[in-house]
Amino acid sequence: MSTVPALRVRAMRPEDVDVVAEIFHLGWHDGHDGHVSAELARARTAASFRDRAAARVAQTLLMLRGSEVAGFVVVNDDELEQVYVAAAHRGRDVAPRLLLEGLRVVGEHGHERAWLAVAPGNARARRCYEKQGWVEGVLLDYQAEGPDGPISTPCLRYERAVAA
């Protein structure tokens, strides 16, 4: 019987940009295609994910299973700005651990509550967040990063106390 390596967390390093960008690119399109504006979908090219991953190295934690990157979380102050799990690791224990790591970092930043934005049509992500104790809040006009400035994107704001 083979054993599945335990999950472990570590800070992202510059040499991780390509693998994070690939998970980011594939995961974003899995969850957002058909649920966001055509303008935003056009802006989300493979190169844009590489640029965005490279710009967020210092804010990103990786979840590793063995030596493989299973997912990542980007924390920006009190926001879990990005939470993505590699396709081969979805539906297992990676997303809950990423969310907990994100909450831990938000708490270290001195906040009592964390938030994240999710496309209303991204049902898989919404179910995951709700299962982990995140509560749907208001509809917000999220300013998604675009090549020529922010792209207005309707999203649901989910919140959770750092200490549950």
pLDDT tens digits, residue range 34-78? 999 999 999 999 999 999 999 999 999 999 999 999 999 999 999
pLDDT tens digits, residue range 113-155? 999 999 999 999 999 999 999 999 899 999 999 999 999 999 9
Is 2 part of any domain?
Answer: no
- 140 with 156: CB under 8 angstroms? yes
Is 97 part of any domain?
Answer: yes
How many folded domains does the chain comprise?
A: 1
Instruction: Give the span between the Cα atoms of 18 and 72, in whole angstroms.
Output: 13
Instruction: Give the span between the Cα atoms of 9 and 84, in whole angstroms.
Output: 14
CATH code, domain carrying 137: 3.40.630.30
Domain with 29, as residue range(s), is 7-161
Measured between alpha carbons, how far apart are the two ends of the chain, in Å? 36
